[in-house]
Chains A and B, each alone.
Chain A
Amino acid sequence: MTEIRARRESEDKNRIQDITYYDRPVIHKPHWGWLIITYFFLGGLSGACYLIGLIADLVRFDVTGRLGKVCRYISLSSLIPCPVLLILDLKRPERFHHMLRVLKLRSPMSVGTWVLSIFGLLSGAVTTADLLRNILPQGKVNKFLHALDPMLSLAKVMAGLPAMFMTFYTAVLLAATAVPVWTKRAATLPLVFVSSSFSSALAVTSLVTSITKMFAVNKALVSLQLWMIPIDFIVKLFFERTLAHSLKFYLTDGRLKIVNLLGVRIIGEIFPLSLLLITRIRKANNPWIGRISSLMILLGALASRYVVVKAGEKSAVDPKAVFEITR
């Protein structure tokens, strides 16, 4: 009897697992495309880059503070396109300022709007002051900047908090939806974005310091990269492994499988890591190896955002995935 009942129950369960309404989607997927994927990449990079610069200054990495400045220049340069990308993605771009009507702590997009604005203002002020100090001759302007120094130092540290949010809030934004791949591991997805942000920020700073021939600084950054790339690798592996088997499918199916394996894993992590390690062990001196590695890491970071966004969209339009996480 119990056997029959057990079989009937499992049949029932199987029946429910197979039910869909003519395979039509249960939820709607967002319209976000390349603009948003690029923003996720640039915004994370900008935040992490600022943090690396801030820490370099705080631990007094070099007396001249060159690394800090370089980091802030890169951070601001990658930040400037961000609002443009976001506004262009709106279906009614002329109403972008409606985002600034309210602050809703439970809406990551609202929080993100304010984080981006405040980060832009603070880091913009600090970085512009850096820049003016560098390009202007000693004189009145410099004296004026000197008078502002205490405020600028405060702003520099204060911008650290929004910079931290920049490295991961976009992951929370994705997690706070009904999309299976994004929401299922809501606490793990931010880890993926943080490590990827730091990894890409290190890649671009190491690229710039290599090109500008700051070799001592570059060496220190590469040492950090040798830690950061494996961390990035493990975090992404952890995310994929902890995602339920049926959801992992979306990351490892069809075109995304190629992008994930080739773009994120091999080009973005394994290949540059091996290159950097070999160079370090052999004490080779060719700067191009580091530069190429950096470019590959950047590509990989962009690809990883692409994979997360597209895998989410695929899971959103699959009713079985939605039913599975809401059963």
Chain B
Amino acid sequence: MSVGSLQSPVGFLTDTTLCIGCKACEVACKQWNQLPIDGLTWTGNSYDNTGDLGAYTWRHVEFIERFQEDIPRASDMPPFQSHWLMMSDVCKHCAVAGCLEACPTGAIIRTEFGTVYIQPDICNGCGYCVPACPFGVPDIGAYDGISHKCTLCYDRLKDGLEPACAKACPTDSIQFGSYIELKERARRRVEHLHLLGVTSAYIYGDENFGGTNGIQGLYAMFILTDEPEVYNLPRRPELPQRKVLRGYLSGLLFSILMMVLTALSLKRRD
């Protein structure tokens, strides 16, 4: 399925230059979706004590501290704040999604909003979507044994509301809207950031970064100001299913070869 085949997919634009690391998105997500606790630990490396996206954590704010003096700042705020990179990570709702393609039960579907949704009554916890996601988003829940990830607040969308995290975000770092519109907004914002002197700003989630190699774009985009790896994001991920056909072909050919060898060997003997 390509982007164009959908009427108007919706998504997120997470502008990291506006993030203040308040974690309101994490809290709003947990509250709205009634997600249980999945660990109360100190990572000891930053203000990020959430650690990772998981079965019951669908927003995750990352904190990257930088010590150089000459970093171009995306804001007029004093260095204390602008020396932190903060990003609220979330399911990317890929235009062509590895988890959706992998799911053997059809539990993972593309909704009428263009988002990727796991039907909890269908999933049987096979776990294949977990390594099939190039971003490490879905995970099997410890309480109910099924796979979970961000639903982009499917229930709220049905009622015409924006997702809880976007609603709660006090700086509009998380913006919700139609993908086409957000993409344009992101382009303009990056242009503006370049004018402000933050020439390192770019979009993660188009066909240059993130939405690469068969993924065809991410409906949840990000504006970043450093290498993708800094934010724990793969630079040019690949849709895992691009490997399927070549795998089948090489396997089939080689097993035929082994059968021919067997036939030759067994025939010669008799």
Contact = CB atoms under 8 A, between A and B. Distances in A.
Interface stretch (A98-106, A249-257, A296-304): A98-106
Contacts of A176: 102, 132, 240-241, 243-244, 247
A248 B101 CA distance: 28
A316 B130 CA distance: 11
Interface stretch (A133-141, A146-154, A192-200): A192-200
A51 B236 contact: no
Q: At the interface, is chain A mostly helix, strand, loop or mixed?
A: helix
A179 B131 CA distance: 6
Given A19-B230, A168-B255, A178 B132 contact: yes
Contacts of A142: none
Interface string B120-150: 0011111110111111111110001110000
A56 interface: yes
A188 B45 CA distance: 40
Given A24-B51, A61-B267, A195 B251 contact: no
Nearest to B140: A91
Given A91-B140, A96-B124, A177-B240, A22 B251 contact: no
Interface string A191-223: 101110010000000000000000000011001
A107 B247 contact: no
A59 B266 contact: yes
Interface in A70-124: 89-93, 95-96, 98-99, 101-102, 104, 106-110, 112-113
Interface stretch (B3-11, B177-185, B194-202, B256-264): B256-264
A16 B226 CA distance: 10
A60 interface: yes
Point out which of B43, B64, B101, B248 has the most chain A C-beta atoms below 10 A from its C-beta.
Answer: B248
Contacts of A24: 51-52, 232
B172 interface: no
A259 to B, nearest CB: 21
A29 B262 contact: no
A233 interface: no
A178 B134 contact: yes
Interface stretch (B24-32, B103-111, B162-170, B216-224): B103-111
Given A29-B130, A164-B255, A198-B262, A171 B105 contact: no
Contacts, number: 252
A34 interface: no
B235 interface: yes
Interface residues of B, number: 72
Interface string B199-238: 0000000000000000000000000000101111111111
A227 B266 CA distance: 12
A162 to B, nearest CB: 12
Given A183-B243, A186-B243, A187-B250, A51 B267 contact: no
Point out which of A28, A60, A178, A190 has the most chain B C-beta atoms below 10 A from its C-beta.
Answer: A28
Interface in A152-180: 164-165, 167-169, 171-173, 175-179
Interface residues of A, number: 81
Contacts of B34: none
Interface string A6-24: 0000000000100111101
A82 to B, nearest CB: 15
Interface stretch (A265-273, A278-286, A287-295, A318-326): A318-326
B138 A28 contact: yes
A20 B232 CA distance: 6
Given A107-B128, A109-B126, A176-B240, A26 B135 contact: yes
B254 interface: yes
Given A22-B45, A178-B240, A224 B128 contact: no
A186 B267 contact: no
A224 B265 CA distance: 6
Given A61-B266, A90-B126, A326 B134 contact: yes
Contact of B247 (A22, A56, A190): A190
Contact of B136 (A27, A173, A188, A190): A27
Point out which of B123, B240, B262, B270 has the most chain A C-beta atoms below 10 A from its C-beta.
Answer: B262
B15 interface: no
Given A90-B125, A176-B243, 15 more contacts: A19-B230, A20-B229, A20-B232, A26-B234, A31-B127, A55-B266, A93-B124, A96-B124, A99-B105, A102-B104, A109-B126, A110-B104, A167-B251, A177-B131, A187-B250
Interface of B: 43, 45-46, 48, 51-52, 62, 64, 98, 101-107, 122-128, 130-140, 144-146, 227, 229-238, 240-241, 243-244, 246-252, 254-256, 258-259, 261-263, 265-267, 269-270
26 contacts: A22-B43, A26-B232, A27-B131, A27-B135, A27-B136, A31-B140, A51-B259, A59-B270, A92-B124, A98-B122, A99-B126, A101-B106, A106-B241, A168-B252, A168-B255, A173-B128, A175-B243, A175-B247, A176-B102, A177-B128, A177-B131, A189-B247, A190-B251, A191-B254, A323-B235, A326-B237
Interface of A: 16, 19-22, 24-32, 48, 51-52, 55-56, 58-62, 67, 89-93, 95-96, 98-99, 101-102, 104, 106-110, 112-113, 164-165, 167-169, 171-173, 175-179, 183, 186-191, 193-195, 198, 219-220, 223-224, 227-228, 231, 316, 319, 322-323, 326-327
